[in-house]
Amino acid sequence: MTPDEFRAAAHVLVDWVADHRERVATLPVAAQVAPGEVARGLAPHAPEEPEPLADVLADLERVVVPGITQTQSPNFFGWFPSNAAPASVLGDLASSGLAALGITWASAPALTEVEEVVTEWLRELTGLPAGWRGAIHDTASTACLVALLAARERASGLSQNRGGLQGEPAPLVVYTSPQAHSSVAKAALLAGFGAANLRAVDVDPVTRAMLPDALAAALAEDVAAGRRPAAVVVAVGTTGTTAIDPLAELAPIAARYGAWVHVDAAMAGSALLLPERRWMIDGIEGADSLCWNPHKWMGTILDCSLLYVREADELVRVMSTDPSYLRSAVDGEVTQYRDWGIPLGRRFRSLKLWFHLRLDGVEAIRARLRRDLANAAWFAAQVEAEPDWRVLAPVTLQTVCVRHEPAGLADPGAGPGAGPGAGPGAGDALDRHTLAWASAVNDSGLAFVTPSQLDGRWLVRVSIGAEATEHEHVARLWDLLRATAGAAVASSSAAASSVASATA
């Protein structure tokens, strides 16, 4: 493709993308395909001859669009906001167009230095301590792995330079909340700690936040048994209910044992742009690292996860490589981001942040975050006020965990099996009802929500914060939830009475 051909094709594609964003609210929100359907819609072999762009776009429309959940729809309330602000899409395009190769500072000095400047902007904007430095990773999962690798090496006095963990006399232990994201346990396992050395520290039954006393007890017990605490992963905004672990109380406890404190604020970190939400990371001076994803609620297109560290040297001494073909005369003076993480080759990811912040401006992003917090508070208040509906966890941010508990389906209490006042199997019947109405909502294509378990029972998470979601969409969602859950009750009692009359 020549530059002129590229120009012509790119104009067509950009128009297609803009049209797609314009009509996304009218599309079914959930992906509309069965397993294998997308693959069957594609040619079984690669074309030998070039095809016209129009044919590719026709297949994009026919096969690909129905094969994705429309996270940019204002009616998307699933998992977490996965926003992709158009301004950031432009930055991503600039990054692809420039095609810089980030393997060393010298291979693309701008790639390193724009990242340094933009991560510094965001450090300041989120109230992280001066001197902390950031790098962009693909995901919070990778960032957590990087933090735990550094923690492992700190606790073991750089065991990688000896026999690794296999040569260590005492097991190293990682502590986190049972509400932490699955990526935390995954990172601990990948970093070699072993499942037997991963502790799920008790949480408060109401707030679901980690209990400092329970952390202190777990640490003391391990130390008494000859094990060495290596890391505490503190969740600021858990995935299930956005619980906020009390960092200011937890960090000093971890410090008694020299354990690394990593703060996982993957989703909630966007809210740190709001000065009134900075309390969420009170005590951050006592932590070693913090990760958050602008590619979630803030809206810089995937993949854009920030890992900040108090002391970058703790990463460098674990991850630096120095092959002769990557050396240059300025090595001692510049940042080599390859030494701050796992990959050698890095994309110019900072451009999407740079474009996003410059073209949208921080104040507009803050206004959107505040809008979402207000919408979540409004929605929670409607649910609380409605008979037969419950909000099941404190609403700390923009996620509201709800359940419809109609008469006849008693409150099951916690855990599998029926709680006080519930008949035998009432919890299971309530679970079936929750799953039935949640999938009816998603099947309708009108909105998308996520069923999730808490204390062994199903509930529905309503995660508010798609860029296009205004109050009217949240109000319509509430109407849809009530109508769908009501219809599910009606159809299951109709089914029950027809079974009863058939067996009478």
Using CB under 6 A as the criterion, which residues of the chain lie in contact with ligand PLP when the complex forms? 80, 139-141, 181, 183, 237-239, 264, 266-267, 293, 305
Return the number of the residue (138 or 405) whose C-beta is nearest ligand PLP: 138
Minimum distance between the CB of residue 199 and ligand PLP, rounded to whole angstroms? 18
Could you check whether the bond before residue 479 is cis, i.e. omega within 30 degrees of 0? no
Q: Are 30 and 69 in contact (CB under 8 A)?
A: yes
CB crowding 312-328: b at 16 or more within 10 Å, else e: bebbbbbbeeeeeebee
CA 201/CA 193 separation, integer angstroms: 16
Minimum distance between the CB of residue 79 and ligand PLP, rounded to whole angstroms? 6
Return the number of the residue (303 or 386) whose C-beta is nearest ligand PLP: 303
Return the number of the residue (140 or 284) whose C-beta is nearest ligand PLP: 140
In 3D space, the residue among 408, 456, 407, 405 whose CA is nearest the CA of residue 434 turns out to be 405
Q: Are 354 and 114 in contact (CB under 8 A)?
A: yes
Return the number of the residue (187 or 485) whose C-beta is nearest ligand PLP: 187
What letter represents residue 166's amino acid? Q
CA 112/CA 306 separation, integer angstroms: 14
Return the number of the residue (80 or 458) whose C-beta is nearest ligand PLP: 80
CA 1/CA 94 separation, integer angstroms: 18
Q: Are 176 and 144 in contact (CB under 8 A)?
A: no
Minimum distance between the CB of residue 265 and ligand PLP, rounded to whole angstroms? 7
CA 5/CA 17 separation, integer angstroms: 18
CA 109/CA 501 separation, integer angstroms: 78
CA 71/CA 252 separation, integer angstroms: 39
- In 132-217, DSSP assigns E strands to 133-137, 172-176, 198-200
Minimum distance between the CB of residue 186 and ligand PLP, rounded to whole angstroms? 9
Minimum distance between the CB of residue 190 and ligand PLP, rounded to whole angstroms? 13
Return the number of the residue (80 or 355) whose C-beta is nearest ligand PLP: 80
Return the number of the residue (341 or 412) whose C-beta is nearest ligand PLP: 341
Residue 346: strand, helix, or coil: strand
Minimum distance between the CB of residue 179 and ligand PLP, rounded to whole angstroms? 9
Return the number of the residue (266 or 383) whose C-beta is nearest ligand PLP: 266
Minimum distance between the CB of residue 127 and ligand PLP, rounded to whole angstroms? 19
CA 467/CA 471 separation, integer angstroms: 12
Minimum distance between the CB of residue 433 and ligand PLP, rounded to whole angstroms? 26
Q: Are 350 and 88 in contact (CB under 8 A)?
A: no
